[in-house]
Amino acid sequence: MNKQNNYIIGVGSGGCNIVNNISKELSVSTILIQTQDDMKIIDTLKKKSYLICALGGNFGSQAILEIANAFKKSNISFDIIVTLPLTFEGKHRKTTAEETIKKLTLLDVKVHVVDSNMLLANIDTEISMSDSFRIINNYIKDTITDA
């Protein structure tokens, strides 16, 4: 990955947390979008971008669709990396995430889906919540680095 020519964009609270954590290890330009007002910057971007969103919440799940549409219309190269909610987050968040993925698929865009539960199921021992998020963040960082 040519880090100087790309943006990593966190969408929603979860996506912004992920970007804040992985950007410490990568020298990249980052953008955090947590409000509708923050989305205005999208029109100014011209470089390849990685959109990162933890699906399930209201803002992030809706905003990722709007941002994907804007990027697609402006012919800017982008990849989307989304995480599915962990089991304890509840059925409503899981349903919201699944609906958002279906809508992204209809847009015909590249989406990497990180099933957090499956990723953590491969761990042999019980781990803390912070270790769980560290594992998920490292997986996303590796996905970007390998892209």
Q: List Cα–Cα distances, 63 to 42, 60, 117, 125, in angstroms.
A: 11, 5, 23, 36
Q: pLDDT above 70 covers what percent of the chain?
A: 96
Domain count within the chain: 1
Q: Is the pLDDT of residue 144 over 70?
A: yes
Which amino acid, one-letter code, is at 64?
I
Looking up tokens 């971008």 gives 49
Please determine, for residue 56, whether its predicted confidence score (pLDDT) is greater than 70: yes
| Closest CA relative to residue 115, chosen from 91, 92, 81 | 81
User: pTM value?
Assistant: 0.89
10 band by pLDDT with thresholds 50, 70 and 90: very high
Q: What is the CATH number of the domain that holds 105?
A: 3.40.50.1440
Domain range for 52 is 3-146
* pLDDT given for residue 4 in this prediction: 56
The 10s digit of each residue's pLDDT in 82-104 is 999 988 889 999 999 999 999 99
Mean pLDDT of 1-28: 83
On the question of pLDDT at 2 being above 70, the answer is no
